[in-house]
Amino acid sequence: MPAPVTVYRTRVCPYCVQAARLLDKRGIAYEEIYLDDKPLERAALQERTQFRTVPQIFVGKHFVGGFTDLAAIDHSGELQRLLAQAEP
């Protein structure tokens, strides 16, 4: 079973849309968590990752980063390796 992918995003973020399109194109299932009306959850995520922008993408427990980071690991093949890792 592939590692779960979680995309923290907002509704008006073009990079969030691009991340979802890339995952859809690859046939990768993912959960989207919208942070528009969740300031406490967004603050907790910022504390956890030290990033203020969205999307914030996780593969399993591994923080990938944003869309450009996702595109880079997709291009390098690292995304498939992360997906194949079993969750502890």
- Give per-residue pLDDT as tens, 27-86: 999 999 999 999 999 999 999 999 999 999 999 999 999 999 999 999 999 999 999 985
Residue 84 C-alpha from the chain's centroid: 16
Total residue length of the chain: 88
The one-letter amino acid code at 74 reads D
Domains and CATH numbers, the chain: 5-84 (3.40.30.10)
Number of Cβ atoms within 10 Å of the Cβ of 53: 14
Residue 26 has pLDDT above 90, yes or no: yes
Q: What is the pLDDT of residue 15?
A: 98
Q: What is the pTM of this model?
A: 0.92
